[in-house]
Structure 1
Amino acid sequence: MAAASDVPLIIISDNAQSERRISPAWTIAQLKGRLEPITGIPASSQRLVLKVASWPDQNLQTVNEDNTQLAAFTLQSYAELHVADTRPAGLRTNYTDVSSVEKYEMPPDEYESRTDSVLHWKKTHQLGRFDPNAPSIEQQKVAGIEREIEERGIKLNARCRLLAANQTESSIERRGTVKFVGAVPEIPGIGAWIGIALDEPTGKNDGTVKGTRYFQCGANCGVIVRPERVEIGNFDVIDEFGSDEEF
């Protein structure tokens, strides 16, 4: 079975903000180690909160951070990972205090009229926001979700396993069959969603969302999630008693 692909996240701290690719196979301890040179916050003083659209905030804190993989949480492309510094204020390095530094700010009109600036170079070469064919942020997000679906091999009628959204779900094995791939306007968030008919009634619906039917399944056997939570594989069907049967 292929390993889960990296997920691009927006890393946000008091001192920095940047986009980084995160591997679901990393442990929380490994993630904190990689965040230390980015944020300037020691791994032991980091408090991580993952903010995913349409999901409650997730605290990436566990008793055993050396062995808990990020795959145990909901990882959505371009979600925000907030890194807080738990050290007392007096022990933190302040990278943003420039009150004692004298600086010159060029008037916007003067900067825009210069021909030796980065802005002028971008305009001349139609780069970035000056590119008439550049995709919007929303288009980039939609493309990222579509790429995730393709890389994970998500197709209709494929057997799958639902990856846990939080620590509580990590001990529950939920399997099912992909029954829908596409947009769901009733759910906040752009891009495609994956509809799964679960083997057991541990879902949230029967394949309908606010009166619109997207696929057929039993009561409470339906769930609609982002592709990051879907693992495709030759998973046996779980019967009503929780045991496996031939698929």
Structure 2
Amino acid sequence: MAAADVPLLIISDNARSERRVSPAWTIAQLKARLEPITGIPASSQRLTLKVASWPDQNLQTVDEQDTQLETFTLQSYAELHIADTRPAGLRANYTDVSAVEKYEMPPDEYESRTDSVLHWKKTHQLGRFDPNAPSIEQQKVAGIDREIDERGIKIDARCRLLAANQGESSLERRGTIKFIGPVPEIPGIGSWVGVALDEPTGKNDGTVKGTRYFQCGANCGVFLRPERIEVGDFDIIDEFGSDEEF
């Protein structure tokens, strides 16, 4: 079964848009599709994929004709930056409109028109005019819950922690999921994942500002967003940092 398309934010000096890409595309196929969007020839594109909580990924490979996008870490609404490697003098400038006379309609006049997109949205209660549209906060909460479901995050599941950035320690931390849900004591809406770590490399004992969410040893507890959690059949790390043998 083919992998589902992934929506990405395409960003270049001359363009910014949302596009769906297929993990089955090769780098060469992706560049060919980006050329009419960005105006940058495929041979002059340098691609960088920016995914939250992951190091930037350079999509340049020796064999772009055969390397598929599924080789890299794709995530919905990640940013794909396209840089133009041509000398500045050879690049077309589509954004310089300094010589073009610009007319701006007064806001009051635009609000009063009945032939505008704004009026059409108001009439059909679309976008921000939809009384039933979820708020930004509701969308974020729903996104976190969806991430929990897609990652298979469940109580008592074994997991390992993913690094938040390149500067974080490369020491692998493993543990067991003991809590899933809101933690009012921590800034930020939506659910958190409470993990009892195998080793005392955490921040608490399952308690946050006097409220207990799960039981674990001192400094063995940590609360993370679901994108920092990878569920799997991970062995327990003993006090010497090696896997226990059973």
Q: Scaled by the length of structure 1, what TM-score is found?
A: 0.69
Partner of 1:243: 243
Write the mapping of 1:200-211 to structure 2, written as runs, cut at 5 A.
200-211=199-210
Write the mapping of 1:78-227 to structure 2, written as runs, cut at 5 A.
81=79, 83=81, 85=83, 90=89, 92-167=91-166, 171-227=170-226
Shift of 1:203: 2.6
Query: What is the count of residue pairs matched by the alignment?
Result: 232
Q: Secondary structure of 1:132's partner?
A: coil
* More displaced stretch, 106-115 vs 132-141: 106-115
**Residues 13 and 183 of structure 1: is their aligned pair in 2 closer, same or farther, counting only changes over 3 Å?**
farther
- Larger relative contact order (Cα-Cα within 8 Å, sequence gap ≥ 6): 1
Aligned CA RMSD, in angstroms, stands at: 4.3
**Residues 149 and 7 of structure 1: is their aligned pair in 2 closer, same or farther, counting only changes over 3 Å?**
farther
For 1:214, the aligned partner's letter is Y
Q: Which runs of 5+ in 2 are unaligned?
A: none
Shift of 1:107: 2.5
Say whether the 8 Å CA contact 1:47–1:86 is kept in structure 2: no
* Deviation digits for residues 115-150 of structure 1 (CA, Å, limit 9, x no counterpart): 222111111110001111111112111111111112
* More displaced stretch, 132-141 vs 214-223: 214-223
For 2:113, the aligned partner's letter is R
Q: Which runs of 5+ in 1 are unaligned?
A: none
Partner of 1:70: 73
Say whether the 8 Å CA contact 1:163–1:229 is kept in structure 2: yes
Distance across 1 between alignment mates of 2:161 and 2:117: 47
For 1:111, the aligned partner's letter is Y
Say whether the 8 Å CA contact 1:112–1:120 is kept in structure 2: yes
Say whether the 8 Å CA contact 2:198–2:236 is kept in structure 1: yes
**Residues 112 and 232 of structure 1: is their aligned pair in 2 closer, same or farther, counting only changes over 3 Å?**
same
Shift of 1:191: 1.5
Distance across 1 between alignment mates of 2:228 and 2:4: 12
Say whether the 8 Å CA contact 1:46–1:86 is kept in structure 2: no
Q: Secondary structure of 2:97's partner?
A: coil
Distance across 1 between alignment mates of 2:218 and 2:21: 36
For 1:203, the aligned partner's letter is G
Q: Scaled by the length of structure 2, what TM-score is found?
A: 0.69
**Residues 209 and 173 of structure 1: is their aligned pair in 2 closer, same or farther, counting only changes over 3 Å?**
same
